[in-house]
Homo-oligomer: A and B are copies of this chain.
Amino acid sequence: MSEKRYLLTPGPTPVPPEVLAAISQPVVHHRGPDFKPVYERTLARLREVFLTERDVLLFAAAGTGAMESAVANLCSAGERVLVVSAGHFGERWRAIAAAYGAEVETLEYAWGEIPAAEDVAARLQELGGAKAVFLTHSETSTGVVCDLQALAGAVNDHGAISVVDAVSSLGAVPLETDAWGVDVVVSGSQKALMTPPGLAMVSVSERAWAGRGESPRFYFDWERTRKGQSTLDAPFTPPVSLVAGLDVALGILLDQGLEAVFDRHIRLGRACREGAKAMGLELFSPDDDRSAVVTAIRAPDGIDATELVRGLRDRFGITIANGQSTLKGKIFRIGHIGYFDVFDITTALAAVELVLADLGAEIERGAAVTRALEAFEERARV
């Protein structure tokens, strides 16, 4: 294997060197003056990135832990909830809600389809309402980013609590928590927030707070963490090193400005899609500026995506992602979330082109990189 590594998956994502430097500082005590200002600033920066006035609760966990916190705090056994699912992470909502004994209704789409607000409204109408509706903002398994504002609006119209998995979208594409009335937003450190995995966070609206239920919970109990954060005294020893890294990463993100960051992601997605098309590949993701998180591409006829992924890894130290579940071998996915610029895209495309050609695929040589650079330069239209 090549010695140099290129992490071009939809998560974990590359971490800026300043962030790595911050997490490698000597450990400090979590109740002392070396940590409290870092903790306070991190929590404030999270509110800025979440675009909310409410507390953002921070947990040592994978993103799934914060997803579970939403189910455990909101759903009592037997309560009806609706899960909107169009991929791997929608399925995860269903599995967690089922584990808590909720009466789980689903609005299911084929993987790769884009959930629509009208469908959500119709399903809620049909059901006569639901306590909560679980949504996936960016479905990392397919590259689809939904129109969350519209979906959350439909949920609100029916008096339900909207709960959104924004693990791969927050900080990459617009998500206006308070302005759009999204009740619960879940995210993680290891995607657009440019920090190693191990931190998860969740924002909770007043309505969701008032709608908390009776399921057993302790570590993920919202009240316990909110109370601790209110005096900067976390209820359990926080992962001080990762928090120090997140603080630096959020500072980088906010220095760039959310609008500039969203614009860059749109242009990265466009560059990736245009480059892929220029070599004759067919997109699996929608060919749409909203899908700016990960680009899913169909393997050419007769080519197994698993072979492509392995070739990139073994020959060049480049990691991209295979399809998940039934899409394994059929699609491959290039992530462009967080600490990415256009030369990460051209690296991915150049290597994909070479390995596909060597695998015998009929693809256009020499066009992808140039087209990607050109597409990246066009101003974002969104």
Which A residues form the contact surface with B (CB < 8 A)?
A: 1, 5, 7, 9, 11-15, 20-21, 23-30, 32-34, 60-65, 68, 71-72, 77, 95-96, 99-101, 188, 190, 196-198, 215-221, 235-242, 313, 319
Q: Considering the complex of A and B, which 5 residue pairs feature the smallest CB-CB distances, nearest first?
A: A198-B239, A24-B24, A62-B236, A196-B241, A100-B216
Residues of B within 8 A of A217 (CB): 99
12 A–B contacts from the bound complex (CB under 8 Å): A7-B26, A12-B240, A20-B26, A23-B24, A60-B60, A60-B61, A61-B61, A64-B218, A95-B218, A99-B221, A196-B239, A241-B242
The answer to whether A60 touches B197 (Cβ under 8 A) is yes
Q: A9-B29, A218-B99 are in contact. Are A237 and B62 (CB under 8 A)?
A: yes
Q: How many copies of this protein are present in the complex?
A: 2
Chain B, residue nearest A15 (CB): B27
Contact B313 A198, beta carbon cutoff 8 Å: no
A27 CA to B101 CA in the complex, in Å?
37
Distance (whole angstroms) from the CB of A158 to the closest CB of chain B: 26
When distances are taken between beta carbons in the complex, the residues of chain B under 8 Å from A7 are 26-29
- Report B-chain residues with C-beta under 8 Å of the C-beta of A220: 219
- Chain A interface SS verdict (over half): loop
Question: In the assembly, what is the distance between CA of A237 and CA of B61, in Å?
Answer: 9
Residue of B nearest to A34 (CB): B5
